[in-house]
């Protein structure tokens, strides 16, 4: 998938299809809250496997039942289609 930085218009168009995601500090951003630490960690484990498979890794952090995810493509200097692909996969994991 290309590592070309998306325009602001492209980003806004793609965001419409991803509920709960926003642009914050130039990155795709989402904060998730789970019923427990175990469920938050299970999500992170599943998402880590996806990220490794597509070789595109999130900036993220976890405190107890909360997971905060920031996505952007370092070598493109901004948000790319790869970030939206990974955000979509995270969304799918939260829906399953």
Can you tell me the distance from the alpha carbon of 17 to that of 14, in angstroms, rounded to the nearest whole number?
Answer: 6
Q: What percent of the chain has pLDDT over 70?
A: 97
Can you tell me the distance from the alpha carbon of 17 to that of 54, in angstroms, rounded to the nearest whole number?
Answer: 21
Label residue 2 by pLDDT band (50, 70, 90).
low
For 46, the token pair is: 């599943």
Q: Is 58 exposed, middle or buried (0-12, 13-18, 19+ CB in 10 A)?
A: buried
Reported pTM? 0.90
Q: What is the pLDDT of residues 33-74, one digit of tens each?
A: 999 999 999 999 999 999 999 999 999 999 999 999 999 998
Q: Per DSSP, what are the bridge partners of residue 24?
A: 27
Q: What is the pLDDT of residue 90?
A: 94
Reported in sequence order, the residue ranges of the chain that DSSP labels E, i.e. its strands, are 22-24, 27-33, 59-63, 66-71
- Once rounded to an integer, what is the mean pLDDT over residues 64-86? 94
Going across the sheet that includes 66-71, the strands are: 22-24, 27-33, 66-71, 59-63
């Amino acid at each position: 998938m290309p590592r070309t930085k998306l325009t602001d218009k492209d980003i806004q168009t793609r965001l419409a299809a991803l509920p709960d995601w926003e642009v914050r500090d130039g990155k795709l951003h989402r904060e998730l809250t789970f019923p427990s630490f175990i469920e938050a960690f299970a999500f992170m484990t599943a998402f880590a496997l996806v990220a490794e498979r597509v070789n595109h890794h999130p900036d993220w952090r976890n405190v107890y039942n909360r997971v905060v995810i920031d996505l952007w493509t370092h070598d493109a200097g901004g948000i790319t289609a790869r970030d939206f692909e990974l955000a979509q996969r995270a969304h799918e994991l939260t829906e399953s």
